[in-house]
């Protein structure tokens, strides 16, 4: 597996201050994707022991809430096989931190036998995730007021609650609001 970048102290890709890993390779190729360079499976650098160690070190400060895995597409089968042992290490080293994953596949697609993304690593990889942001980016449903995603069809699935209830449970959908100041100025985003 290759990766495009690792971001430290990221606040855009999940709740709290996070470390974000952007993997390479995506066959979905959503129109107007914000990172089309990551469609190429060979984009960036090879993901190996040195990169894993660097990310584990970045996760160590107490103010880091967890890890976000984005792409490209983390649930491409070849990426799942490379990510699974790493996610096991993250959970073992930092059981109090959460793992978010962004996928163009829906949870239902990931759970359906015979679907393209499903492989021997899928179920265990899902079991290590706390939040799944699922669904392809759809330009016609683009909404910049949504938290942590780009289009209205995408969901923020609380996988821990989903596993407990047996039904899909989404995180609350608080929208970003612009607070007006004096004379029509804006203060900025509030959550």
Average pLDDT estimate for 135-142: 89
Is pLDDT of 21 > 90? yes
Cβ atoms of 26 and 43 within 8 Å: the answer is: no
Domain that holds residue 186: 2-190
- Tell me what the pLDDT averaged over the chain comes to: 90
CA distance 1 to 80: 9
Is pLDDT of 76 > 80? yes
DSSP 145-179: TSSS-SBTT-EEEEHHHHHHHSS--BPP-PPPEEE
Most trustworthy range by pLDDT among 76-85, 107-116, 168-177? 76-85
pLDDT, tens digit, for every residue of 115-130?
889 999 999 999 999 9
Would you tell me the crossing angle of helices 49-58 and 77-93 to the nearest 10 degrees? Answer: 40
What 8-state DSSP symbol labels residue 132? Answer: E
pLDDT, tens digit, for every residue of 139-156?
899 888 888 998 889 999
Domain count along the chain: 1
- The reported pLDDT for the residue numbered 34 is 72
DSSP H helices, the chain, are 49-58, 77-93, 107-111, 122-128, 159-165
Q: CA torsion sign, 146 to 150 to 153 to 155?
A: negative
Cβ atoms of 76 and 26 within 8 Å: the answer is: yes
CB-based burial label for 127 (10 Å; 0-12, 13-18, 19+): exposed
In this prediction, residue 174 has a pLDDT band, given cuts at 50, 70 and 90, of low
Of residues 33 and 13, more confidence is placed in 13
As beta bridge partners, residue 17 has 64
Is pLDDT of 70 > 90? yes
């Amino acid at each position: 597996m290759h990766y495009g970048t690792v971001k430290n102290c990221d606040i855009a890709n999940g709740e709290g201050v996070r470390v974000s890993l952007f993997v390479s390779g995506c066959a979905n190729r959503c129109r107007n994707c914000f990172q089309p360079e990551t469609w190429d499976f060979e984009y960036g650098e090879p993901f190996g022991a040195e990169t894993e160690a660097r990310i584990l070190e970045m996760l160590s400060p107490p103010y880091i809430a967890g890890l976000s895995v984005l792409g490209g597409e983390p649930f491409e089968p070849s990426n799942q096989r490379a990510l699974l042992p790493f996610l096991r290490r993250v959970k073992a080293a930092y059981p109090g931190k959460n793992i978010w994953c962004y996928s163009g596949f829906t949870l239902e697609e990931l759970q359906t036998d015979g679907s393209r993304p499903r492989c021997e690593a899928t179920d265990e990889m899902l079991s290590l995730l706390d939040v799944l942001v699922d669904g392809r980016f759809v330009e016609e449903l683009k909404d910049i007021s949504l938290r942590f995603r780009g289009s209205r069809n995408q969901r923020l699935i609380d996988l821990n609650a989903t596993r407990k209830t047996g039904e899909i449970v989404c995180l609350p959908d608080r929208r970003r609001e612009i607070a007006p100041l004096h004379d029509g100025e804006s203060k900025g985003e509030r959550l």
